[in-house]
Amino acid sequence: MKLTNYIDGVWQGEAASYAVVLNPANGEELAQVPLSTEEEVQQAVAAAKKAQKKWALVPAPKRADYLYEIGRMMKDKKEHLAQVLTKEMGKVIEEARGEVQEGIDMAFYMAGEGRRLIGETVPSELQDKFAMSVRAPIGVVGLITPWNFPIAIATWKSFPAIVAGNTFIWKPATETPLMAYEMALIFEEVGLPHGVANIVFGSGSDVGTALIEHPDVRVISFTGSTETGRHVAELGGRHLKKVSLEMGGKNAVIVLEDADIELAVEGILWSAFGTAGQRCTACSRVIVHKDVKEELQKRLLESMQDLTMGDGLDETVKVGPVINEKALEKIQSYIEIGKSEGANLVAGGHVLNEGKFATGHYFEPTLFTDVAWDSRLAQEEIFGPVVSLITVSSLDEAIEVNNSVAYGLSSSIFSQDVNKVFRAQRDLDTGIVYINAGTTGAEIHLPFGGTKGTGNGHRDSGVAALDVFTEWKSIYIDYSGKLQRAQIDTE
Ligand SMILES: NC(=O)c1ccc[n+]([C@@H]2O[C@H](COP(=O)([O-])OP(=O)(O)OC[C@H]3O[C@@H](n4cnc5c(N)ncnc54)[C@H](O)[C@@H]3O)[C@@H](O)[C@H]2O)c1
């Protein structure tokens, strides 16, 4: 299947060049994705700009009605969307269903915002004067998304954008364009006015750059690696764009001496090896108290034996493939780095490429122990099924080690002591903190994002997402019939 861009409600013609989209589980060709150019971006921005004027005049509750329809259609197509998602991204089908559900939840949640979009009324300091602030749409927004959550992240961005009265151009990752294609079909089927939702496929350097540099694109909402995000921020800054960045992570589970070890093992397995470790919130470090280190390690190693690997469409599989050959090489390079740094490789550490694994991209769930907290293995984002066990002697030390990385997305702590966990949630320098759960499992009505190298202060999800896609407009209405001046003493 050859995909085409979706601009102004119209599926566009053939592109000059394409990239091939492969199923990471078996190497099967799924589609060809256009490698668009600046010209297509200009066309999409022009359509979005024209549509936005009308769209902003549609009352927000009516804009929200389209989101209810989109949510209902996603619900009807949930199994189909999940199957396509597993094929193009590789995550196991249970997780794919969960990701689609996140999108459905986001549709209904943001549709509800159509009847709120809450502003503020406040007293004026002057008599016979009324003061309020409202959320105003910004205009045309550009959405740049990664391959690891090809549908959920797009809904976190596009749904608040449109309910607030903006129109958008979405550039999905070239590895996972099929979810964008499926969403465009849904936008078309629910009759979303032409030009409100536009999809332009292509590389980050061509399409992404053209979006960021275009003077009519007022907001860039980006999710991806910190390296790319830094570039997006620099370029966006030069063009004075509002740029929202959600980037990498190096998340840790802390296991204290009084933890429920069985529960901690379950939490670690799910957050470290789910999606083959390719979540921004993946647990990549386990910071364990020395008194329970041996027990935790033993139970973790035993449980890791039960992680069946294979094609995520097989319901019995727990760990699917990683996205491509480049990812395998990166993970392998960190195995070598870990060994050279003196960490102890106690499980996994290999690419699987024989038998049923021969045509896919599989890496064994891997555990290093005795990892130095400041080693590269413990500090850098690997984005694969690799966990580093770091031993500490106290809660203070655990928090310090957790906070030592350049990222600040998610952290978790297992302990039965309410004083310790309350103290920890205060001091853990991450945007998300879990108590007695792994590092993953965000719910869409709470803000999602992180500190330091993970983000630049904005958030996806929750009402906070509306801050990215609206401007605060302050309105003063003077009904005194005379010129009143604030801050001037008229007595
Ligand atoms: N914090 C979060 O919410 C979150 C969520 C998911 C993934 N991530 C992070 O995303 C990364 C994995 O995703 P990825 O490999 O797709 O990231 P990436 O940075 O390589 O790509 C992300 C997107 O940016 C585009 N892009 C690449 N170069 C660009 C450029 N020069 N200008 C504009 N756009 C450009 C890509 O085409 C893609 O659409 C990991 O670091 C992960 O932690 C973060």
Tens of pLDDT, residues 334-393: 999 999 999 999 999 999 999 999 999 999 999 999 999 999 999 999 999 999 999 999
Specify whether the CB–CB gap between 366 and 346 falls below 8 A: no
Q: Which atom of ligand 1 is nearest to the CA of 226?
A: 41
The verdict on the CB of residue 245 being under 6 Å from ligand 1 is no
For a mutational test of ligand 1's pocket, the pick from 280, 407, 458, i.e. the residue with the most ligand atoms closer than 8 A to its C-beta, is: 280
Quote the CA–CA distance of 363 and 377 in Å, as a whole number.
Answer: 17
Q: Are 431 and 453 spatial neighbours (Cβ–Cβ below 8 Å)?
A: no
What integer pLDDT is reported at residue 490 of this predicted model?
61
Q: What's the DSSP call for residue 258? A: T
- Rounded CA gap, 158 and 2, in Å? 24
> What is the pLDDT averaged over residues 34-42?
98
246 is catalytic: yes
* Cα gap 102→104, rounded to integer Å: 5
Q: Is 419 exposed, middle or buried (0-12, 13-18, 19+ CB in 10 A)?
A: exposed
Q: Strands 283-289 and 251-255: what pairing?
A: parallel
Dig out the tokens for 123 from the structure.
């007293």
> ipTM surpassing 0.95, yes or no?
yes
**Residue 223 beta carbon below 6 angstroms from any ligand 1 atom:** yes
Q: Which letter does DSSP use for residue 4 in this model?
A: -
Distance between CA atoms of residues 172 and 192, nearest Å:
19
Does the Cβ of 210 fall within 6 Å of ligand 1? no
- Check 246, 257, 295, 341 and give the catalytic one: 246
- Mean pLDDT across 407-416: 98
Quote the mean pLDDT of the chain. Answer: 98
Q: Which residues pair with 473 in a beta bridge?
A: 134
As a whole number, mean pLDDT of residues 110-139 equals 97
| Res 489 pLDDT > 90 | no
- The predicted structure's pLDDT at residue 488: 86
- Stretch 92-113: mean pLDDT: 98
DSSP bridge pairs for 136: 471
Closest protein CA for atom 21 of ligand 1: 224
Our answer on whether the CB atom of 156 is closer than 6 Å to any ligand 1 atom is no
162, HSE (Cβ side, Cα atoms, 13 Å): 32
What percent of the chain is predicted at pLDDT more than 70? 99
> Which H/E stretch holds residue 272?
helix 261-273
What is the spatial distance between Cα 173 and Cα 181, in angstroms, rounded to a whole number?
12
Ligand 1 pocket, residue 375 CB under 6 Å: no
Residue burial 9-25, b: 16+ Cβ < 10 Å; e: rest: beebeebeebbebbbbb
Is residue 267 within 8 Å of residue 252, measured between CB atoms? no
Q: Distance between CA 483 and CA 417 in Å, rounded?
A: 62
pLDDT in tens, 135-194: 999 999 999 999 999 999 999 999 999 999 999 999 999 999 999 999 999 999 999 999
Q: 131: CA distance to ligand 1 center in Å?
A: 41
369 closest CA partner among 385, 388, 349 = 388
